[in-house]
Amino acid sequence: MKTKLLHSVFVILFISNSLSAQEKRNFTHKKSTPHQAEKYTVSGYIKEQGSGENLFGVSVYIPELKVGTITNEYGFFSFTAPKGKHSVVFSYIGFTSQVKEIDLNADLEVFVNLIASSEALSEVVVIADQHVKESKVTQMSAVRLNPMDVQDLPALLGEKDVLKTLQLLPGIQGGSEGSSGFHVRGGTPDQNLIILDDAVVYNSNHLFGFFSVFNGDAVKSVEAFKGGFPARYGGRLSSVINIGMKDGNKEKLSGNINIGLISSSVVLEGPINKGKTSFIMSGRRTYADLIVQPFLDKDENGGYFFTDLNFKIHHIFSSKDKLYWSNYYGKDKFYSRYLDATAKEKTNLAWGNITSTLRWNHQFSNKLFANSSLIFSNYEFKIDIDNKDLKIDEYDDNYLFNTSSGIDDYSIKTDFDYYPNNKHSVKFGAIATRHNFTPQRVVIKDPYSGSINKTQELNSFEGAVYLEDDWKITDKLNFSPGFRASYFNYKAKNYLNFEPRIALSYNLRPDLAFKASYSKMNQYIHLLSSSGIGLPTDLWVSSTDNVKPQSSEQYAIGIAKDFQEKDYSFSAEAYYKKLDNVISYKEGASFLALDNLESGKNINWEENITTGQGWAYGTELLFRKQSGPLTGWLGYTLSWSERQFDELNLGKKFFDRYDRRHDISLVGIYKPSEKITVSGTWVLSTGNNYTLPNLQRLNNLGNFPINTNYSYYNGSEEFSSGRNNFRGETTHRLDLGIQFHKKKKNNKVRTWGISLYNAYSRQNPFIYTLDDKYYDYNDPNATIEKELTRTSVLMLIPSINYNLKF
């Protein structure tokens, strides 16, 4: 497989080189023409009309010259064009395209406001080329999600979820049923780099993975990379999910109220100083705990909630200097209280993220743009138990137990975008991060077993420099070389790794491109998880002198075809990924064994893990329609994911838990009028792998002199002959949604949304267990027998939500 892929890559490289040489000769010849001498730079910013929100990924293109670029994350673009009159087309998905006539006889700054399609007047002509075509970009294995799709698609309990929408794309697979944890091209959830406004988000889940932490209302852009990683990204093996928050409306106060079955959210945004400074704040909270509060016993209550708060300020000093301050706070909390005459007991179990990013954009010239960021990211999980003894007697029964684990990151980062000419689009920069890990902090005050106060800390440093170029060698051939050098330090141990990245695309026809990529990645921090479902007790740890960084190499080839007239696109990719030094818990080790919280006893986490290797390969097909009343996609993934650890599964290779042979997703959003949105998704995938005992033997055989068996039962003992020896049943599910929109006075839009999760009530497996079959106690001939039980969750979950935009 690997050989075949390598062969394909080299063949493409060879063809590309030959073509490049030929085109170079043509180019040299053209260079002598007098018109080529006078070229000017066109640069500027593109914003959303009405809100002043910078737009990321807008196509800026002069069709007759075949010259163009796309805007960066801050809406900035720059390209050069020859002197003369040109028509520049600005197009962006979900927005009405605009054509601007320019008379180029000097460097030019252009500021464009695009109008959202939903707000465009009917007489505005919509140009077919509404967005950057897949066949026109060198980047492969990447997808940019329209945040509107997240809002339009049906969601579990009406909670619009960015990460679950991403799971509908080929190569990005969900974990357990209903979970927002995801696996990209055979990777694990910790191999996904999830970034919110430059800050790493360590735990992207609420409620054990049923919901993601990203409040869809405050999200402006979602960009996902599954492979062919640009050099500006690093630190994870399998994917990069770059989520951008809205900057806030600079023109007027506006907002959004959403009331759902389990949570409500509010977004408020507006100018602080019109046209200069804007803010956006959003909040979301579940309220099941508040609703049940009146029905609980006065002396005893408890509950669960999760909440998210986003706050961002954007200030424009000048057209060349801008400041952004983004903050996120998210928390899950279980709590219980008990009070009587003898005791007062309080238990809290909480976990969450805090991120804060201060970014400064500076435009040095019309060709050089820079962003510098100061970033803080925190994740903490903690348990607090405080039992106070109210009895008046000789015994002191006060008990205090606090434990926490977490990670604090302090980063400084700078990124430059340089557009020297139309052939090159260069990015370079550096990042430095100090990781402060706290695998465990424990404070126990116990009158019987004594007091404990101890903290484990690991401090490490991670840094990287990178350089990448999107080089348009000819009209047909693009080449993106990239280089990243990453460095990691833990105590006296230093790791220095070089990560080459290569991507190329060759346009056989204007609407058909062949693409290939190679990327090497290193990951210096790891998540210890035995459950794989995103429990808060999953522990982030650093590479150390004993635990080497994880690394991967990924090769991918593919084609991208655009059907211009119909605005369909089709892409097919094949990939091969080799993973090294991937970590896993040793047999039987888990967060429960690792953290014996009740006793405060602590086992060194390094003793509990083992390293191995992995292989992931497969093919992904995506057929997509992105404009018109009916949009959506059909995705298919054929994949394999294998692992081998010397200390697991008797050293034998085994299929990963989330190795799934087939994954199909069909997504449709239909907007017949402004008043209604109908949507549906249907997914089918091969079942997950599970480790289950498949054999049983007599218990307590042999003559070992020490009794290690806690069970007093002397019958049989089940055991498993191999890891992931059991393939679960195929899962499939249909989700339906309908939204009714009504425009009210003062431009307010009211939306009622109804959704049905798992509409035909498919009993998809969540877990499998071995249970005792029913037997009659009174029957003297009764026998005991095990049976396999499937537990299904989330069947036919209806929801309704109300949304008001103002």
Distance of alpha carbon 483 from alpha carbon 232, whole angstroms: 9
Contact letters for another protein, residues 360-389 (x by CB under 8 A):
-----------------------x------
CB-CB contact of 357 with 377 (8 Å): no
Nearer to another protein, 278 or 537 (CB): 537
* Sign (positive or negative) of CA dihedral 470, 474, 475, 478: negative
Distance of alpha carbon 764 from alpha carbon 691, whole angstroms: 18
Nearer to another protein, 493 or 786 (CB): 786
Place of tokens 């006793």: 599
Query: Which residues, 6 or more positions from 615, have their beta carbon under 8 angstroms from its beta carbon?
Result: 186, 576, 577, 578, 579, 640, 641, 642, 643
Nearer to another protein, 203 or 530 (CB): 530
Question: With CB under 8 A as the contact rule, which of the stretches 138-146, 216-224, 514-522, 686-694 interacts with another protein?
Answer: 686-694
Binder among 28, 673, 703, 746 for another protein (CB under 8 A): 703
Question: With CB under 8 A as the contact rule, which of the stretches 106-114, 245-253, 582-590, 667-675 interacts with another protein?
Answer: 582-590
Residues 142-181 that bind another protein (CB under 8 A): 178
CB of 488 to another protein, least distance (A): 24
Question: With CB under 8 A as the contact rule, which of the stretches 358-366, 422-430, 630-638, 688-696 interacts with another protein?
Answer: 688-696
CB of 724 to another protein, least distance (A): 9
CA angle 304, 306, 309 (to 5 degrees): 155
Residues 602-641 that bind another protein (CB under 8 A): 604, 607
Nearer to another protein, 333 or 388 (CB): 333
Nearer to another protein, 173 or 530 (CB): 530
Binder among 85, 702, 776, 778 for another protein (CB under 8 A): 702
Residues 329-358 that bind another protein (CB under 8 A): 334, 336, 347, 349
Residues 286-315 that bind another protein (CB under 8 A): 304
CB of 756 to another protein, least distance (A): 14
Burial 681-708 (b: 16+ CB within 10 A, else e): bbbbbbbbbbeeeeeeeeeeeeeeeeee
Q: How is 29-47 classified by DSSP, letter by letter?
A: HHHTSGGGG-EEEEEEEEE
Q: Quick one: which H or E segment has residue 133?
A: none
Nearer to another protein, 465 or 793 (CB): 793
Question: With CB under 8 A as the contact rule, which of the stretches 63-71, 84-92, 485-493, 790-798 interacts with another protein?
Answer: 790-798
Among 267, 286, 388, smallest CA distance to 338 is for 388
Q: Quick one: which H or E segment has residue 29?
A: helix 2-31
Question: Tokens standing for 786?
Answer: 């095990």
Binder among 706, 745, 776, 778 for another protein (CB under 8 A): 706
CA of 67: how far to CAs of 36, 42, 80, 257, 749, in Å? 13, 11, 8, 42, 39
Contact letters for another protein, residues 96-135 (x by CB under 8 A):
----------------------------------------
Place of tokens 């218990």: 699
Binder among 23, 251, 580, 717 for another protein (CB under 8 A): 717
Size of the site for another protein (CB under 8 A): 90
Q: Quick one: which H or E segment has residue 647?
A: none
CB-CB contact of 659 with 638 (8 Å): no
Nearer to another protein, 162 or 609 (CB): 609
* Sign (positive or negative) of CA dihedral 140, 141, 144, 148: positive
CB-CB contact of 338 with 348 (8 Å): no
Nearer to another protein, 629 or 715 (CB): 715
Residues 407-426 that bind another protein (CB under 8 A): none
Question: With CB under 8 A as the contact rule, which of the stretches 74-82, 204-212, 315-323, 484-492 interacts with another protein?
Answer: 204-212
Distance of alpha carbon 806 from alpha carbon 786, whole angstroms: 59
Residues 209-228 that bind another protein (CB under 8 A): 210
Nearer to another protein, 178 or 228 (CB): 178
**Residue 608 DSSP SS3:** helix
Question: With CB under 8 A as the contact rule, which of the stretches 70-78, 88-96, 131-139, 703-711 interacts with another protein?
Answer: 703-711
Nearer to another protein, 145 or 533 (CB): 533
Binder among 587, 646, 748, 752 for another protein (CB under 8 A): 587
Rule CB under 8 A: say whether 645 interacts with another protein: no
Rule CB under 8 A: say whether 585 interacts with another protein: yes
Contact letters for another protein, residues 535-554 (x by CB under 8 A):
xxx-----------------
CB of 368 to another protein, least distance (A): 51
CB of 184 to another protein, least distance (A): 21
Query: Which residues, 6 or more positions from 284, have their beta carbon under 8 angstroms from its beta carbon?
Result: 215, 217, 263, 264, 265, 266, 307, 308, 309
Question: With CB under 8 A as the contact rule, which of the stretches 55-63, 366-374, 471-479, 726-734 interacts with another protein?
Answer: 726-734
Residues 447-476 that bind another protein (CB under 8 A): 448
Residues 497-536 that bind another protein (CB under 8 A): 530-531, 533, 535-536
Distance of alpha carbon 552 from alpha carbon 466, whole angstroms: 18
CA angle 406, 411, 417 (to 5 degrees): 140
Place of tokens 């709590």: 335
Question: Tokens standing for 802?
Answer: 């109300």
Place of tokens 């988000």: 201
Amino acid at site 121: L
Residues 20-49 that bind another protein (CB under 8 A): none
Binder among 592, 630, 676, 800 for another protein (CB under 8 A): 592
Strand order in the sheet with 67-70: 67-70, 59-62, 84-91, 98-104
Beta-bridged to residue 279, according to DSSP, are 270, 313
CB of 166 to another protein, least distance (A): 22
CB-CB contact of 556 with 616 (8 Å): no
Phi and psi at residue 489, in whole multiples of 5°?
-130, 130
Rule CB under 8 A: say whether 711 interacts with another protein: yes
